[in-house]
Structure 1
Amino acid sequence: MTLPLNKPFEVSGHQEKDYGAEMGMMRRAPTATSSHPLEESERTYHQRQDQHKLNSATRAFGIGYALHFKHERAAAGCHQIGHLGFLPRSNAHLQALTGRDLELDFTDTLGVQPEVTYNPHLYMEQEQRKSMF
């Protein structure tokens, strides 16, 4: 039994010039979707773990503890509370509250923001000029 031949194979000039590399780049998978099933799981891991801990704490200690815990984390993560803008920012308090201070990942070494020294007097004058409300 033979396979039916629809068209004979022809070599076009386009294939000989770029060897299909240009077309291959255009056929790549879009970056908006994940290429592996575990990517979405890894991306939302910390959020799911925090939600699980909060649900467990609510069942064990009541809703008051859960609200206090959420409020404390929100205050530690707020950029306006307890931080002067001309000083380098560290999320040590927030990481200690969430338990991420014990983990080591790529952002610890590769995600370091550049150290830029600001003039404290100029910064505070600019902050005073901004309206608080």
Structure 2
Amino acid sequence: MTLPLNKPFEVSGHQEKDYGSEMGMMRRAPTATSSHPLEESERTYRQRQEQHRLDSATRAFGIGFALHFKHERAAAGCHQIGHLGFMPRSNAHLQALTGRDLELDFTDTLGVQPEVTYNPHLYMEQEQRKRMF
């Protein structure tokens, strides 16, 4: 048994003709905001998590522990301390302190800096010459 057709099937042209085009997408985009509401939340996620950890540590162990943790992170993030210039920088200590070493995201595979190898002997000689003068 077939269903009776009262009127012929018509394609709605105004809905489908601008599909995929930039103008059609701009017309459908909300004009009040320039970004999705979750974008701001995603941008500040790490800062909010860090602040939550510090607040929890302050409540549990006191302000001294939280300050020690902040100073340790600042020392690990300092580029001049404990790094030889001819070796690539990995930030492993800083990532271990922040918990970022347990996460895997897009920048881990594609955000890698190219490895440039320097001659360590020449680099150390240049550093020694700089310190003499």
Tell me the TM-score normalized by structure 1: 0.69
CA contact (8 A) 2:18 2:24 kept: no
Asked if the contact 1:86/1:117 (under 8 Å) is kept, the reply is yes
Q: Which blocks of at least 5 consecutive residues in structure 2 are unaligned?
A: none
Rounded Cα–Cα distance in structure 1 between residues aligned with 2:42 and 2:34: 11
1:74 match: 74
Runs of 4+ in 1 over 3 A off after TM superposition: 1-34, 125-133
Contact 2:86 2:117 in 1 (8 A): yes
1:14 equivalent to 2:14? Answer: yes
Show structure 1 runs of 5+ residues with no match: none
Identity of aligned residues (%): 94
Residues 24 and 4 of structure 1, relative CA distance in 2, 3 Å threshold? farther
Residue 73 of structure 1 contacts residue 94 of structure 1 at CA under 8 Å; is this kept in 2? yes
For the 8 Å contact 1:34–1:40, the answer to whether it is kept is no
**TM-score w.r.t. length of structure 2:** 0.69
| TM-superposition CA deviations, 1:36-75 (whole Å, max 9, x none) | 1111111110011001110111111111101110111111
Q: Which string of whole-angstrom CA distances, capped at 9 and with x for unpartnered residues, describes residues 1-49 of structure 1?
A: 9999999999999999999999999999999985211111111100110
Measured in 2, the distance between the counterparts of 1:59 and 1:75 equals 24
Note if contact 1:86-1:120 (Cα within 8 Å) is conserved in structure 2.
yes
**Size of the alignment, in residue pairs?**
133
CA distance, structure 2, for counterparts of residue 123 and residue 35 of structure 1: 47
Q: Could you say if the C-alpha distance between residues 22 and 107 of structure 1 is closer, same or farther in structure 2, counting changes exceeding 3 Å? A: closer
- Maintained 8 Å contact 2:95/2:101: yes
C-alpha separation in 2, matches of 1:132 and 1:43: 45
Indicate how the Cα distance of structure 1 residues 51 and 4 shifts in structure 2: closer, same or farther if over 3 A, else same.
farther
- Pair 18,66 (structure 1): closer, same or farther in 2 beyond 3 Å: closer
Given that 1:88 and 1:115 are in contact with CA atoms closer than 8 Å, whether structure 2 keeps it comes out as yes
